Structure 1
Amino acid sequence: MKATSEPIFTSGFPLGSSAGLVTAFEWLGQPYRLTRVDMLGEMRTEAYKRLNGRVETPVLITDEGRVLTETIAIALWLEGRDTERRISFEPGTPQADRMHQYLAFLNTGFTGAFYPMWVALEAADATEGEKETLRKFGRSFVALRHEQLEAMIGDSDYLLGNEPTLADAVFAGVARWADFHQAIEPRDYPRIRALRQRIEADPAFRFALAVEDGKPGGGNGAMKGLVPLEDVLRNASRALAA
């Protein structure tokens, strides 16, 4: 794809983990644009498959026109842009290593724990008994990962100190799934509960949810406009045909 004036980030809805990275873009404060993607419809089209053959969000079109997929890859791209260290740490430091550890855990074990519950929700041909088995396994996996994360969290306001980082953003995009699936009792995990409340009250996260709802008002000015998905897909098709 051709270079763009600002990177374009696709944000999936409903309940996309992408909301976490929208939050990170806001915390970073550098210019970007957004494209909203309906994960129950638009994402499943042949046109979208040409953008991401795995039929997933998020997708980032960098300002150089490169297509980048996968949450961790995009998070590391943001880390590379963060020269003022607003949402990350100096590469090679113990803090940076610790942040990468959190990112890996959150994007694999923590996020993956919800998979059986999403399958139960979307498996139209499954019996109710099969769905309940999936939900049971899902609740046990989610509880285990919450127990592990609860033990990892220290006494600071955020995962890695008193300021939010990429790790907090990735966490926030997924943590709300526990409410949707009624997977755990939040009071059983007081540190996670406090962290969620702190991030979910943040204007950047509230902006991310407004984007998800199709009402992207507010923000700190870093988001320079919405790009229709049709335009992104059209440009992608042209690039593939060139």
Structure 2
Amino acid sequence: MEPTLIYGFPLGSSMGLVAALEWLGKPYRLCRVDMLGEMRELSYARINARHETPALVDDQGRILTETMAVASWLEARDADRRISFDLLSHQADRMHQIMAYVNTGFTAAFSPLWAALEMEPPNPTLQSTLREWGRDRIIERHDKLEDMIEETPFLVGDKPTLADAVFIGVARWLDFHAIADRSRWPKLAALRERLEADPAVIYATTLENGESRQGTGSCIGHVPLAEVISRFGK
């Protein structure tokens, strides 16, 4: 059985994992989920009680949640090391280090802005405070990541890896929230330009937008959320 990645829209961080599956080149299925609608319904708790994406139904029909856990599952099955490195290598250690930073402090810095955007009922004073605080944190976290990365085409070396996948799903939030121009961080801006021009990222973004596009052929179709819940939900 092929694994099925449950990914969210709009602007889900899980978009990058779709690109990673394309880079990996093994058969997989997808399940596209509206994070502002069906992900919040009670039935989705059978997939993830925290009502979040991504989630993965693995090749044994078991459900795995959390970005780092899904990335680790993919890494363990990357026998050809197309999106990762030998586990005992320094490159693997560095990839894990960058992934951990992006998935924690870097991603979390956007939380105040998402909270302000989605606040119901609105509280203008609190929303303004959240946006100001979040903006400062996002800039700080971009500064730190800019300092962390080296002068290589991708986050770890000459090829896109799981680190780039975790990064690109979140990086576009900088533009959505209009925090600062990406050119403020030259290395990150160049990295984003390369990744956004990558066919796998273009494919993943197109699917996220609900459009059709030809990929590598590894994706063998989408599965409706109701079917995934019925077959695999706890």
In 2: Cα distance, 1:95 partner to 1:79 partner: 13
Aligned to 2:131: 135
The Cα of 1:155 is off from its aligned counterpart by 0.9
1:23 correspondence with 2:11? no
The Cα of 1:236 is off from its aligned counterpart by 2.8
In 1: Cα distance, 2:157 partner to 2:20 partner: 16
Aligned to 1:155: 151
In 1: Cα distance, 2:223 partner to 2:123 partner: 41
Aligned to 1:55: 51
Aligned partners of 1:26 and 1:219 also within 8 Å: yes
In 1: Cα distance, 2:189 partner to 2:111 partner: 21
Aligned to 1:212: 208
Counterpart amino acid of 1:82? D
In 2: Cα distance, 1:219 partner to 1:65 partner: 25
Aligned partners of 2:57 and 2:232 also within 8 Å: no
Aligned to 1:9: 5
Match 1:177 to one of 173, 176, 199: 173
Q: Unpaired segments of 5 or more residues in structure 2?
A: none
The Cα of 1:210 is off from its aligned counterpart by 1.0
Match 1:113 to one of 101, 106, 109: 109
Larger deviation: 120-129 or 45-54?
A: 120-129
Aligned to 1:223: 219
RMSD: 0.9
In 2: Cα distance, 1:77 partner to 1:236 partner: 18
1:190 correspondence with 2:148? no
Match 1:202 to one of 168, 190, 198: 198
TM-score normalised to the size of structure 2?
0.98
TM-score normalised to the size of structure 1?
0.95
Aligned to 1:103: 99
Aligned partners of 1:142 and 1:184 also within 8 Å: no
CA deviations over 1:88-129 (Å, ceiling 9, x no partner):
000121111111001100000110000000000011224212
Aligned partners of 1:20 and 1:170 also within 8 Å: yes
Aligned to 2:230: 234
CA deviations over 1:36-82 (Å, ceiling 9, x no partner):
00000010111101110000000000011110000000000000010
Aligned to 2:63: 67
In 1: Cα distance, 2:47 partner to 2:222 partner: 18
Counterpart amino acid of 2:177? H
The Cα of 1:185 is off from its aligned counterpart by 2.3
In 2: Cα distance, 1:222 partner to 1:150 partner: 33
Secondary structure, aligned partner of 1:207 = helix
Q: Unpaired segments of 5 or more residues in structure 1?
A: none
Secondary structure, aligned partner of 1:87 = coil
Larger deviation: 167-176 or 121-130?
A: 121-130
Secondary structure, aligned partner of 1:215 = coil
Aligned partners of 1:60 and 1:68 also within 8 Å: yes
Percent of matched pairs sharing the same residue: 54
In 2: Cα distance, 1:194 partner to 1:217 partner: 25
In 1: Cα distance, 2:163 partner to 2:142 partner: 15
In 1: Cα distance, 2:202 partner to 2:120 partner: 33
